[in-house]
Amino acid sequence: MVRPEPLLTIGLFALLSACMPQKNLHPDIQGHRGCRGLLPENSIPAFLKATALGCDFLELDVVISGDGQVVISHEPWMHHTICLEPNGDPIPVERERSLNIFRMTVPEIQAYDCGSLEHPRFPDQDQRKAYKPTLHEMVEAVDEHALLSGVAPPSFNVEIKSDPAFYGTFQPEPEVFAKLVLAAIDSLGIMDRCIIQSFDTAILEAVHAEREDAVVALLVENDLGIEGNLSRLSFKPDIYSPQFSMANEAMLKTLRAKNIELAVWTVNAPGDIKRMLDLGVDAIITDRPDLAIKLLEAR
């Protein structure tokens, strides 16, 4: 049997490798809303815990307050499931949207307790009184904690929560929204540690128009497919981010060919985390980063 020369073998291996989807053996672990499975979502305690666990990224949601500050919150109002009135009373579901963050100052926003209620979906969550922090507060607290603890400072995956139905009522128009978030990121000096993601393509277009160097992720939860979703943008995003059950080998191969990373959300069950690790995704966004890190280290 004639064996190929060593250099030829190496060349053939390189050629074959270039034609195959390359799996990421060490995906980034991103703490979803800090670590929502362990501590109140989007709170300083949750972000500090995720930092201490060793998350590569802290995933967070941002809205805009009435006084123009970038506030960390999943909804642009006080959600009845996680927040209490300043006097400790529950918030009736029919009242929550009247508590419009876009019409409130930061001191007014932070008078609400958004950490003491038991979360129906996360029985292991350790409840404690918490408020919705500004982006500045969170980044400064996290970086100080990392410095004093001797752990690596994390990066940030900033989701701009935007809905066309809310333009002008619960949020600014996309161009203004993008500029406010970018200005806050620039003032903190963390642009090189940030991903900016959104489901709203108008927001991503505004971010890209303002800062072409910004790392952008397109969030998807529809059945349009990769080509259909990418066609909604005038530029190629750095990251494609679907709900994890949509991810498979074919998606990974297609994105690799386009030089786009694959980040999946929100992966909490150990079996699902293992499947995403086996698939070789670039990032796993999870409410339980403690489990994801443990499973990753076990490899």
Cβ neighbors of 128 (< 8 A, separation 6 or more) are 39, 40, 45, 115, 116
Whether residue 9 is contained in a domain is answered as: no
For residue 30, give the CATH number of its domain: 3.20.20.190
Whether residue 55 is contained in a domain is answered as: yes
Identify the pLDDT of residue 252. Answer: 98
The Cα 279–Cα 272 span in angstroms is 10
Do residues 197 and 160 make contact, with C-beta atoms less than 8 angstroms apart?
yes
Q: How many domains does the chain have?
A: 1
Whether residue 224 is contained in a domain is answered as: yes
Do residues 257 and 285 make contact, with C-beta atoms less than 8 angstroms apart?
no
Beta strands in 177-257 (DSSP E): 194-198, 215-220, 239-242
Would you say how long the chain is, in residues? 299
Whether residue 115 is contained in a domain is answered as: no
Identify the pLDDT of residue 273. Answer: 98
Question: Which of 72, 179, 209 has the alpha carbon at shortest distance from 136?
Answer: 72
What is the domain range of residue 250? 25-64+71-76+138-297
From residue 244, how far is each of 25, 32, 39, 119, 286 by CA, in Å? 17, 13, 22, 22, 10
From residue 40, how far is each of 43, 46, 82, 292 by CA, in Å? 6, 6, 8, 19
Identify the pLDDT of residue 12. Answer: 38
Residue 77, φ and ψ in degrees, nearest 5: -150, 180
Q: Whole-model pTM? A: 0.92
Identify the pLDDT of residue 121. Answer: 95
The Cα 26–Cα 49 span in angstroms is 21
Identify the pLDDT of residue 43. Answer: 98
Whether residue 127 is contained in a domain is answered as: no
Per DSSP, 164 falls in state G
The Cα 280–Cα 276 span in angstroms is 6
Whether residue 225 is contained in a domain is answered as: yes
Whether residue 95 is contained in a domain is answered as: no
Question: Which of 179, 177, 182 has the alpha carbon at shortest distance from 166?
Answer: 177
Whether residue 256 is contained in a domain is answered as: yes
The Cα 264–Cα 24 span in angstroms is 13
Tens of pLDDT along the chain (299 residues)?
333 343 333 343 334 344 444 556 689 999 999 999 999 999 999 999 999 999 999 999 999 999 999 999 999 999 999 999 999 999 999 999 999 999 999 999 999 999 999 999 999 999 999 999 999 999 999 999 999 999 999 999 999 999 999 999 999 999 999 999 999 999 999 999 999 999 999 999 999 999 999 999 999 999 999 999 999 999 999 999 999 999 999 999 999 999 999 999 999 999 999 999 999 999 999 999 999 999 999 98
Question: Which of 262, 259, 277, 178 has the alpha carbon at shortest distance from 218?
Answer: 262
The Cα 261–Cα 146 span in angstroms is 27
